[in-house]
């Protein structure tokens, strides 16, 4: 949705090797695929996906969930099904080098299935994955990036895991009081060769009991 905005943020983090094309829309699906595969010789790589999403798909068009039109249906998504995306990642290989940020509705569901499919296809390594929406939840356009901007990072300051979690507190500010809010999840494999563990923050009301919640933070719903 916002390739230029994301690129501007990334450049401020000191990243210089950025795909020059705006990889946006169904017409660029093959270019997106080849860009991911061809990054295999470039070392550490971040793939930042900012799209509409469905539980099984990251979309390149349409597929706005919760609407009464054709949007929200898989046949209007024109994107990547999780197993299709897995095949692209496996062609890239060396997934321990890859950070995958997914800004979409149901991004947790997509990532969870992606990880299981990587495991079933005997992947030798796994990416670190950040999803902006929790299990079965919608996302809010630009909220994640706005939250990162609120950290006021210095120019050339790298984006670290601690920043990802720090940004969570800005998901609930006055600006977004009338919007859906979101909890991020990180899937992280310490050794990169073992199936990633889920590290989640859950500040929303997910109907967990008081015994399950500690300091207002609840486990992800099952």
Q: What is the pLDDT of residues 148-206, one digit of tens each?
A: 888 898 999 898 888 887 887 776 545 545 444 677 888 988 776 788 888 765 555 44
Q: Which domain holds residue 54?
A: 3-200
Contact (Cβ atoms closer than 8 angstroms) between residue 104 and residue 58: yes
| Inside any domain, residue 130 | yes
Asked if residue 25 is part of any domain, the answer here is: yes
Mean pLDDT calculated for residue range 1-30:
84
Which of 17, 12, 16, 10 has the alpha carbon at shortest distance from 156?
12
117, 212, 216 from 86: Cα distances, Å? 7, 34, 35
CA distances from 15 to 6, 30, 155 (A): 12, 24, 11
* Cβ count near 7 (within 10 Å): 16
Query: Of 11-20, 31-40, 124-133, 171-180, which gets the smallest average pLDDT?
Result: 171-180
Report how many domains make up the chain.
1
The verdict on residue 105 lying in a domain is: yes
Pairing mode, strands 98-103 and 45-50: parallel
Q: Residue 87 belongs to a domain with what CATH number?
A: 3.40.50
**Cα torsion angle, 5, 7, 13, 14, sign:** negative
Residue 219 lies in a domain: no
pTM of this structure: 0.82
**Could you tell me if residue 222 is inside a domain?**
no
Has residue 206 been placed in a domain? no
CA 153, CA 72: separation in Å to the nearest integer? 36
Which backbone phi and psi does 199 adopt, to 5 degrees? -120, 110
Asked whether residue 215 is assigned to any structural domain, the reply reads: no
- Cα 61–Cα 62–Cα 68 angle in degrees, nearest 5: 175
Confidence bin at 20 (pLDDT 50/70/90): confident
Examine residue 52 and state whether it is found in any structural domain, yes or no: yes
- Please say if the pLDDT value at position 119 is more than 90: yes
């Amino acid at each position: 949705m916002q390739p230029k905005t994301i690129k501007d943020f990334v450049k401020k983090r000191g990243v210089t090797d950025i795909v020059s094309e705006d990889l946006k829309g169904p017409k660029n699906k093959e270019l997106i695929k080849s860009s991911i595969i061809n990054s295999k010789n470039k070392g550490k790589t971040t793939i930042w996906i900012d799209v509409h999403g469905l539980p099984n798909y990251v979309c390149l068009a349409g597929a706005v969930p919760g609407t009464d039109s054709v949007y929200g249906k898989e046949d209007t998504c024109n994107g990547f099904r999780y197993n299709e995306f897995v095949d692209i990642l496996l062609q890239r290989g060396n997934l321990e080098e890859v950070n995958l940020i997914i800004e979409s509705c149901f991004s947790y569901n997509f990532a969870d299935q992606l990880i299981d499919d990587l495991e079933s296809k005997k992947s030798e390594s796994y990416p670190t994955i950040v999803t902006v929406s929790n299990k079965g939840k919608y996302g809010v356009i630009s909220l994640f990036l706005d939250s990162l901007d609120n950290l006021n990072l210095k120019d050339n300051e790298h984006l670290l895991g601690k920043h990802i979690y720090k940004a969570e507190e800005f998901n609930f500010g006055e600006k977004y009081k009338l919007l859906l809010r979101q909890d991020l999840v990180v899937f992280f494999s310490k050794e990169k060769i073992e199936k990633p563990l889920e590290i989640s923050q859950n500040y929303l009301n997910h109907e967990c009991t008081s015994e399950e919640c500690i300091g207002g933070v609840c486990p992800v719903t099952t």
